[in-house]
Amino acid sequence: MKNIQPFHLAVPVHNLEACRTFYLEILGCEQGRSNDTWVDLDFYGHQLVIHYKPKTEQEDLHHNPVDGKSVPVPHFGVILEWEDFHKLATRLQKKEIEFIIEPYIRFEGQPGEQATMFFKDPSGNALEFKSFKDPAQIFAT
């Protein structure tokens, strides 16, 4: 794979402090600059900014069927090394994070074999973390 540059993503959160705690203490992110309405985070080498936005009527996420599971749209996340994915999954389970989709293996024994899991941050943003058994097969068809 070519040298990949970090992405920048800004997401709305209705409880800045709860989300700051979640990203720092649960996901292990590092904090960068911040003020009263936003926080920069080192999200596994990428720049994630959580921006305060007042809570409005709860808008349900859209879901698409994938592997007989209901995948939330939109969602974001990162691709981790195989062992790091499993360590994070174990840590999330110990912290009793409620999963939208529990950690599982897709395409087992096939090209593109991957581990994946979905959960939400305290403001309802859906996250997917995944890992490929063979990182060279991220875009396998």
pLDDT at 79: 97
Q: Does the domain formed by 8-54+64-137 have CATH 3.40.50.300? A: no
Helical spans, DSSP H, in 1-141: 16-21, 82-94
pLDDT given at position 58: 67
| 49 backbone φψ class: left, alpha, beta (φ>0; ψ -120 to 50) | beta
CB proximity list for 137: less than 8 A, separation 6 or greater = 111, 112, 113
* Structure confidence at residue 17 as a pLDDT band (50, 70, 90): very high
Tokens of 95: 């912290």
**pLDDT tens track for 91-128:** 999 999 999 999 999 999 999 999 999 999 999 999 99
Scored b (16 or more CB within 10 A) or e, 79-98 reads: bbeeeebeebbeebeeeebe
Question: What pLDDT is attached to residue 64?
Answer: 93
What span, in angstroms and rounded, lies between the C-alpha atoms of 122 and 97? 10
- d(CA 82, CA 54) in angstroms, rounded, equals 37
Q: What per-residue confidence (pLDDT) applies to 59?
A: 66
pLDDT tens across 24-70, in order?
Answer: 999 999 999 999 999 999 999 999 999 999 988 766 778 999 989 99
Look at residues 3, 5, 7 and name the one whose alpha carbon lies nearest to residue 77.
Answer: 7
- DSSP conformational letter for 110: S
pTM above 0.75, yes or no: yes
Closest CA to 111 of 82, 131, 140: 140
Distance CA 100, CA 71 (A): 8
Average pLDDT over residues 122-137: 95
